[in-house]
Amino acid sequence: NHAAAVKWAERSFEFSPGFEWPRKYLGFYYLKNRQYEKAIEHYRGQLAIEPGRGGFWVGLAAVYETLGDPQKALDVLLEGTEKVPDERDLFGHAFRVAAGMGKRGDARSIVRKWLELHPGDEEFEAIDRDFDRILAEEFGAAAFKDSAGGKESQ
């Protein structure tokens, strides 16, 4: 029951705003309870306090994805990668959102930016190496008509 979870998380957050559990989960519970504006407000508030928390960036992006605005989600994730360049999940999620939107060039630049900052990451190296195949198999070849070569879509 997400409504009950929201109620208890809100109470916990109200009594102890620095307590980790409600800081981390209240936005998620708002999202699951379809309280999207409250979820956005919660994540934005937490990012104002602690912009170095990758999970808050990912959570905020998830709200925008749920609302059907993948571009806003990608913008949030890219901003997060600037603020938290060592948060691998941010880069991975940004790659998935960009690829899911058919933004081949953006998806590739996200992978390469991570590798530039963190050389030797085998999973990201494999994505970079097998980029076209991964896009075609994981995200649908139709979205990437240019994958065999030619002009990259943005």
What type of residue is 125? E
φ/ψ (deg, to 5) at 7: -60, -50
Give pLDDT tens digits for 142-151.
Answer: 455 544 443 4
Structural tokens at position 24:
């981390």
| Predicted pLDDT of residue 99 | 95
| Predicted pLDDT of residue 5 | 64
List Cβ neighbours of 26 (8 Å cut-off, separation of 6 or more).
Answer: 6, 9, 10, 13, 42
| Predicted pLDDT of residue 134 | 92
| Predicted pLDDT of residue 140 | 82
**What is the rounded distance in angstroms from the CA atom of residue 136 to the CA atom of residue 15?**
49
Spans of the chain below 70 pLDDT: 1-22, 141-154
